[in-house]
Structure 1
């Protein structure tokens, strides 16, 4: 059978009758990704709340939506999907204010640490919330296509996964994280760890080192990590957000190799964020004789957010049988993040002393 790029899935089915969305938080990610995605897909934006009322009013005016005066007023909107674009240490209090049985999409990470994730999980269980975490990279067109290619056997058995990033990331765009104790893994590479979990399953463990940089005070911006999948599969991440030497040798790419084929991906949004560059997916398929470009029907931003919200909307309506990245599953991603930080804090294996 000949490999056909057009046969790979790249989008999530749209909900038949989407509910309106109420957003908590008015940070840059809302205007850069959430609202463009919702407008593109026809989802009504009912309004937003942020304790910084001036910031909330400015964003609301830009999008022509209501700015709520309080958490309680925002949470009182009937039949809404509640979109938490809040800092991780604020998720729990907002979830606690939602009506029992409500549907919520929680910005990653799921709390500031694993203890926070556990608190969120307990709140969601107690209030019977239909809650998912916004791991929208799973829904990016290139990642849906990659997942489909692996499922259809075009790579054979996946035996190597490499993530290589050398970027100049504008951390100043997110004021809340400039003094946060956990940054790189918890707020950036968590996307890659979550995607890897979806594609390859849960690893046995992780070896990691994450650190900052002498030129600034952000807690961590560089990470090396090896995920342990046993003796057949190698998984490695090399992340450097301080490659401030021009575009020429910057990179944001994955290489996924199987026993019979391979895939190359460029995650364009991280290059010159938030403007970004085009995403790329190329596949060397089983039985093929060269690399085949997969024409992409969208990008991570905003199309990954379109699919993420579509799945939650459809699950609430009974149109999807699985809630992708539910809080139950997302807790396992947080456990992997926690293990990476623990590994980074633990001493390395010392070298033997010369006799």
Structure 2
């Protein structure tokens, strides 16, 4: 069975450390807490400036403590999971004790300048910090990465991300004020995963568009990434295909000279209820075989970044996959896309 031959989970730490979560928004309720409970991690306490919201979440998930201040939260012997808005990350990092182990919710700021400040705060504080780019830790993407390592796909020649569906942006009202939305809040997942699978591109071409039905600045994106080898990488992202389920799509295609992989990102279809994720593999000439998945992007993939951080802190992993230095490279790619978006294209001759 292919499934038995592909890695789908990040190994768990031998001696998990307690976790203090800073920030108690929807992502904590929908993904962090369910993932940590499933993994058997202990959540020692929560902190949020909205004490009532933090207490309600603590009561719901039986978290034993709600801290009264960031100083009280930072005084704990724990791994810190910062799930506050990215504009607050640098200040929170400076409140943590030197040498602390930290997981930062993505994105790493809203632009490269903010990402640099966050990276600097980590280095100045002597912290060990990773960013929660969890798609690369999902069962389907870990499976694709392992298939590539095993040589099943051969030399990579194609990566295509195709998103054509309806995203309920009303669930994210905080995005209305952001001058940047789609790439830094959504397509960043794909850009980070592409980097994990294929390395850093040499250049980016991009266009992002608004939509008449939306108050957000940009919700549709086209991206082409250049590599110094025969690898074509494209992303086509449309969050407004509101014409029924039939032609909606959320796929991540990876092809090589010897084989191909196709992943279905099920959670995006009818979000947040979603559909099951899928992973299919085929050698050259076929046939396609579906790989049974033992976990979903939401919430299971959120176990991986925390497991990697804890194993790295304990000396069990020699690499922190989404260390802030690596995450900064993902933010640099995001910034390149936005810069490309501002540049004029080649004019089409009128005659």
C-alpha separation between the residues in 2 aligned to 1:246 and 1:88? 34
Question: Residue 21 of structure 1 contacts residue 82 of structure 1 at CA under 8 Å; is this kept in 2?
Answer: yes
Q: How well do the aligned residues superpose, as a CA RMSD in angstroms?
A: 1.2
Residue aligned with 1:336, SS: helix
C-alpha separation between the residues in 1 aligned to 2:304 and 2:327? 17
Q: Tell me the equivalent position of 1:63.
A: 61
Question: Residue 32 of structure 1 contacts residue 274 of structure 1 at CA under 8 Å; is this kept in 2?
Answer: no
Alignment match of 1:338 (pick from 331, 335, 339):
335
C-alpha separation between the residues in 2 aligned to 1:242 and 1:178? 16
- Deviations 1:320-345 (CA, angstroms, capped at 9, x unpaired): 11111100111000000000011111
C-alpha separation between the residues in 2 aligned to 1:316 and 1:42? 18
Q: CA deviation at 1:115?
A: 0.3
Q: CA deviation at 1:28?
A: 0.7
C-alpha separation between the residues in 1 aligned to 2:242 and 2:46? 36
Instruction: Please show how residues 251-290 of structure 1 align to structure 2 within 5 Å.
Output: 251-286=249-284, 289-290=286-287
Q: CA deviation at 1:302?
A: 1.5
Question: Residue 22 of structure 1 contacts residue 81 of structure 1 at CA under 8 Å; is this kept in 2?
Answer: yes
Residue aligned with 1:300, SS: coil
Q: CA deviation at 1:174?
A: 2.1
Q: CA deviation at 1:308?
A: 1.4
Alignment match of 1:143 (pick from 141, 144, 150):
141
- Deviations 1:289-325 (CA, angstroms, capped at 9, x unpaired): 4001111111111111111111001000111111111
Question: Aligned pair count?
Answer: 350
C-alpha separation between the residues in 2 aligned to 1:290 and 1:193? 29
Question: Residue 3 of structure 2 contacts residue 293 of structure 2 at CA under 8 Å; is this kept in 1?
Answer: no
Q: Tell me the equivalent position of 1:99.
A: 97
Residues 1:111 and 2:109 aligned together: yes
C-alpha separation between the residues in 2 aligned to 1:173 and 1:8? 35
Give unpaired runs (5+ residues) of structure 1: none
Q: Tell me the equivalent position of 2:75.
A: 76
Q: Tell me the equivalent position of 1:167.
A: 165
Give unpaired runs (5+ residues) of structure 2: none
Residue aligned with 1:154, SS: coil
Question: Residue 87 of structure 1 contacts residue 176 of structure 1 at CA under 8 Å; is this kept in 2?
Answer: no
Structure 1 segments, 4+ long, off by >4 Å, are none
Q: What TM-score, normalized by structure 1, do the two folds share?
A: 0.96
